[in-house]
Structure 1
Amino acid sequence: CNKIACYTGNGYDVWEKFVRQNAFERDEFYHGEFPKKFGWGTATAAYQIEGAWNVEGKGESTWDHYTHNAPCRLLYNQTGDVACDSYHNFDDDLAIIKELGLSHYRFSLSWSRLFPDGKLTSGPLPDGVRYYNDVINKLIAANVEPMVTLFHWDLPQALQDEFGGFNSSEIIPYYLDYADFCFRTFGGRVKYWFTFNEPYVYCTLGHGYGVAAFAPGHYSPGEGVYYAAHSIIKSHAQAYHIYNNTYRESQKGQIGITLNTNWVEPMTTTDLDHIEASQRSLAFSTGWFAEPIFNSGDYPDVGNRSEYYNITYDRLPKFTEEEKELNKGTSDFFGLNHYTSNLIVPCSYYPEEGPTYDIPWGIRKLLIWIKRTYGDPVIYITENGISEHHSDGLDDDIRVNYYKNYINEVLKAIKEDDVNVKGYTAWSLMDNFEWAEGYSERFGLHWVNFTDPERTRIPKKSASYYRSLAGSGTYQLNQIFISCRSETDRDDFIFGLFPDSFLWGASSSAYQVEVSQYRFSLSWSRLFPTGNLMENEVANVEAVAYYNHVLDELEAREDVNLIKMLGVQQYRFSISWSRIFPDGTTSYVNQGGVDYYNSLIDSLLKIGVEPVVTLYHWDLPQALEDIGGLLNETVVDRFNEYTDFCFKTFGNRVKFWITFNEPYVITWLGSPGEAPYQATHNIIKAHAKAYRTYEKFYKGKQGGRIGMTMSTEWAEPKDPNNPSDVEAADRFLQSILGWFAHPIFKNGDYPEVVKKQVNERSQLQGTPSRLPVFTDAEKVEIAGTADFFAINGYTSRLVTYQDKSTWPPSYENDRDTHEEPIPGAIQATPDWLQIVPWGMRRLLNWLDREYGHPTVYITENGVGTSDATVDDQIRVNFYKAYINEALKAQQLDGVDLQGYTAWSLMD
């Protein structure tokens, strides 16, 4: 970094600025507002849309000539002869421009439509002048600013034939005559001029690698590209001075050039060689033209490759000292066309990502680089967009996502990096002739039917999105709705504050942490030397003091220190039933266990952390399991005795109780067949009895709250337009979550869909319904037995309908559903856990609506890893994304979410 820092001020520090930023931070979505006068526009180019290639005396352009005479080089022998036929249908263009509600429209003039052979002596053509006057006047009448490009690659063929085009400096006077005519004729109404569009592309493809299907098709990669660029820079600079000296004062306009570049990212951002390679790449693509115009007046100094090739002459033309002075400062703004980014290593060049090259963060870095390299110029983004190959669809989510994310990175550059961006122009207004790709690639906000003589324009989804964004000029929170299924809005990152009262916690459970962490033995003989308690033997005072000392030492144990370090308000842990009642009954109380939990609770309170106590987290005393466990109805009373003891013993300090953790997991995974339903039946009754005990005897004086923690995955219908899939998703949630929540939060009974499904499946198996029935009295006791809704959520599934009625009798899936992973979700550990953050928000919304807007606490959420690394970036990303979805549910959707607990404090 010290090496990199020495290049500060020359653009090198852009890579250093982001070198420690992880991908999650880099891609965070920024909510904010564009400046009030920020410009929103869209763009086209003459040859790509106008058609009418030879009407009204128009001369042949290099692209007319190339497509007519080199058809084998172009896709399907396609041409721009008709294209979108904008020459005859500009009113249709104007209609969709007005519908978008934009501030400006960037288009180019066809030189040969005004001067057939490129020379003033051949024109101007009245119909060409009329056409462009008409375009400009109609735009102004519609309150749309015309932004005019003088040269967008369609040189009059006559100048190409006579001089070799821009390969010769002899063409410069003719370009200046053309520019001067345009300033004089249209400049009273045009306030933004662009001399050239993407000269890098025009020079490298048209004059360097012309065989790559690009007009004028001149092949001279080692020399021709430099001569063409040289002529263009001199043409631009002199045109600028003509405007500046003759027209600026009266017309009050601005003039500049549009340059294009990809952002280039060093393969290794801390390797100076890689950074220098990136800087060199930018110097050749952007600096080639920007350095003479914005800085020194001369080309960037990147060394002499001619010497490497043993070429004795310099292939790069020289500017005279006078020309350098003329070049300097010849742009009122930096026009930028940008589409994608690449990875760079010395002597190599790689696409950064997939085939669409959708890399939003590259535009932000590029904008910062331009700011720092070229003296903080005013920047207009004059092209940005994405194509779909051979796609005729109107539902262009790929383009919606692209615009949304790229434009958001522009907003970051403005707000966070102070880059002086004044406007954004989407490419393109409509599908058009995409040069060598013909009509196979579609960049448009509007779909064009190229088989229809009328060339009908139809708005795509992206047009609606862009209109909305440009109209508001803001990415505000209220643009996100839970009903929106598009990834565009679904995955937004929002910035906001949880309320001061929001509770943050960490969690564990007894069997998972206590066995190895806290277990120690008491010496019976040390406490009671004769071992005869029946004789009321008094415990050894010194031994009691010793064990009290051991318990006191627990206050300093590592996990309490970790909890304190986290700064959370709550710590959720479970009490081991068998550590209190070894055989699960009141016949014997293990005082050591009682003392341990007393010490833990006191230790938490001492550091200002609220204990959240789960009474049952799956570790049933084996003695009770031996007599049937949760399948034996006596467990209801045994659980009530145990919880009553806990309320009485710890309740003066514990104000947050959870009766059962994830009963679905322990019942369904514990045993098949009828057992899950009977175990659930007993759990719900045990929960309700414990709640009523607390309500009757303890709540008034202790002031605590009590509930049950339920678990589920979010169920996303595989086809949201298929009622069967939607119903299947609801059945999934009702069968896992509603199975417990419906009795507690609604009417004391199971959901009707659960009763129906289990009854039908049981009948197929030739048995009565396997689902037990609550009595009316039990329903009354169960209903309303929770002070909050506690939920454990980790992942999501696609759910579809799957009829199992024809299967052999089976208990595997009474709900007739099939689940599968969410496409594209990151697979985590364990194997059932895919990372699907948006599922958390949808789950919270579903339960909010299903159960009457309860107070909600997320009591578990987290992700596993399969190794022992402490560099758990996957978990950082997981928490950040999931908690942000919780924030959306709370702030945008009105869910009464009051707390979040991470699973788990430790491995």
Structure 2
Amino acid sequence: MAARISLLLGFTACLLLGLFTPTTKPALADDDIPDDDFNRLYFPDDFIFGTATSAYQIEGEANKKCRGPSIWDTFTHDFSERIVNGSNGNEAVNFYNVYKEDIKRMKEMGFGAFRFSISWSRIIPSGRVHEGVNEQGIEFYNNLIDEIINNGMEPYATIFHWDTPQALEDKYGGFLSSEIVDDFHDFADLCFKNFGDRVKYWVTINEPWSLASFAYDSGDHAPGRCSDWVNRACPAGNSATEPYIVSHNLLLAHAATVELYRKKYQATQYGKIGITLNSMWFEPYSDSAIDKEAARTAIDFMFGWFMDPITYGQYPRSMQTLVGDRLPKFMGNESKLLKGSYDFLGLNYYAANYAKGNAIVDPHFQRYSTDHHVEQTPFDENGKPIGQEAYSRWLYIYPKGIQYLLNYIKREYKDPIIYITENGVDEFNNKTLTLEQALEDRVRKEYYQTHLWNVLRSVNESKVNVKGYFAWSYLDNFEWNIGYTSRFGLIYVDYEDNLRRHLKESATWFEKFLKELIPPPPPPPPVSTVTDPAIIPHNFNRSFFPHNFTFGTATSAYQIEGEANTKCRGPSTWDTFTHDFPERIVDGSNGNEAVNFYNVYKEDIQRMKEMGFEAFRFSISWSRVIPRMEPYATIFHWDTPQALEDKYGGFLSSEIVDDFRNFADLCFKKFGGSDRVRYWVTINEPWSLASFGYDSGVHAPGRCSAWVNRTCHAGNSSIEPYIVSHNLLLAHAATVELYREKYQAEQKGKIGITLNSMWFEPYSNSIIDKEAAKTALDFMFGWFMDPITYGQYPRSMQTLVGDRLPKFKRKESKLLKGSYDFLGLNYYAANYAKGHAIVDPHYPRYSTDHHVNQTRETNLQAYSPWFYIYPEGIRHLLNYIKNEYKDPEIYITENGVDELNDKTLTLEQAVEDRVRKEYYQTHLWNVYRSINESKVNVKGYFAWSYLDNFEWNIGYTSRFGLIYVDYEKNLARDLKQSAIWFEEFLQKQ
């Protein structure tokens, strides 16, 4: 749990603890605490809330169940006078026997995770695997993990929380010897082997600073070693060297464990591994350069001591300078092993101090806690404390410190994923209080509230990558050298009444925080409904959107990859179409080379990351099959293998459903997983394939009725679009069923479909034109959205298309209904819809079956003749989907605008794409409005397209990209103005 940080205050003896009566109130004024409705909804949806404990502090049954003694058993028994009330953890709070009740109560409070530690000597009594494993200990932790999971919570396991087996302490001095690295490695191996199928989050070591400092510098913790001049109660030790030797071996044990997990278990167990470090925040005592440097040095000696090696492979320079030869050095291989040895960082924060430089230190009495030459004090120059003092003499409450520390870590240590693994405050175990009085823990309630608010600010304002928060502690428990005199728990444990549990006020507040989900207040509404860039706030950026909102870019395989005829890739319908009918491509081009993404994807993805994008949507070439942002994979983006087109007509045949399902199965198997692809799109824009490929014939395979387009070699525009769409839907449903039954539970992913639609404004206010707009939406969007939501085609289509519209069998309808976890939506432009269009009944075709005359908007036209820019359309369409289709989760999977590939422009002129910049700005503003005003469940936005690329039947004459691709200069990439704007949008807060 919380480290007892007495030495930071300059006290070198054991803590002198007594009853504290608060004289000041917590400093809340600067923390901008929201109203009482502050709750977990203010945090990202995937943010984890949990509680934390450690084995020796809560389990009990210390001398039973074949458990071997740890150094804390020996320390509390042999040196009971060094524990404030002479107590020990023999019984602790009896968690070993009542864990089921405790976990059930956690669940009832709304917690989503439980962090516990594994007692090394409970599962390996001697500390060495080859000398025997205690199966009763293994069984206990198996049962505990199962109970956590059965209660719907995630287990977070700490491998080591200071309780070294006494046998290893006796054999070679415990962490004073490098021999412990191998034994620790074997202990961890046993944990991974027995528990790793269910534990997905591992912490190697909790607070190595606390063990090295308290146990080997001040001697307050087991095994109680220090220089005799520091504390005469220490039986042995050297405060000048031993803390550094111990910390070195702790780091090497950590690195060996991470290497083991990554090489042997991670690929099959799909877990993550990290370490938990603790730190105070240090404010400079004054604005002087000396005190500012002192604050930095203090952090180096507490946090950087461990964080620098696991990030950069070396100790902080300040420590190398100030400690000199007493600081061990890492050998080349050790440094390499340490560097990057964590998937996430666990951070424990409790309090803050001031740091004052040039502390006077006697060179004849060297020790860790003075080596930094920093005077650490909770009082400023006027004697005012930095915050309210808790019971523990080192714990001065400073909520902003957690925010400052998180921001510091982001800046200095490559923006790691962080979990707050401990945060809490203690009060004195005052036995004179009634139970009712003891449960009134207002200070703790305010502590959690103010610290959570500062964590939220670091996430929202500074974009610190915090993923979870664990309150310390769930239960009052054995608090190390101050025994049971301190209470940190949300749950009051009655030590006088059979260890009964009672909820404190802080627990009641936390339960309300987790369960009373009131959405955060929306920002003020926009001042106008007109989407003019001038009315959009000048500081409009990604922070306006929800914290878990995803921004990405999108592409498709044939349009960008290239290497079309190599790497054993088979031809797709687009290869055949562009090669056999080059006259049907505006510039006669093809995707043979495209923009060479296949060979330069690493550079392109690195550039995306630098721009601030968080996700990349790509499609998988069916005929290529088949390779840190979140990948969003589209299984099919119109490139049917030519072999299937030749064999049975591609999507004109229901045979393709099984082949599509098998293709998807291969994709899920090869690329799916909780740490790989978790977002799947079955099909991109089935409307486009059915309409352009089989009604107008302008896309591959180029089929249509002869009277529609004489260049079509075959086809029937009145029936084939409907047959193809029917088989596309059945292929989609079969794929979703496969994923849900075979992969979803294990891979923890989501699957959906991407549909495209224009927005249709009624040409007039007449009922006929309003109905026409609805019918136009039915024929473009509802054609696919109705079946996957309601299991049938829209009624307007059933009426107007008649027998040419296939019907779903009952089983197919059932399979389709609800066959998406999210909806991908592609929006570009809008049309007017005018009713009672005149249609020749002798020439039926899909694009006239709706009897709607679709005319163009009068707004700005892009390069493509169908493309009229109407930003409000995306908001109207989103609102329509929410109202008509059960409020689905939506990702904008494509949105963008094109311009002519004008070869007469200089490069400088070509990258000046003001229209695209304003297009993104105005459309994003309307997406933002739909979320805030209409509460549409939009979760992400993908700009189309990242790169200029092959734009289907108009070839390379059109440019949609944020990135300009120079087709005349080896496909060199250059950022357009829109890309620079987007980068600022994503990175400015």
Q: TM-score, normalised by structure 1?
A: 0.48
> Greater share of helix residues, 1 or 2?
1
Q: TM-score, normalised by structure 2?
A: 0.44
Instruction: Flag the structure with larger Rg.
Output: 1
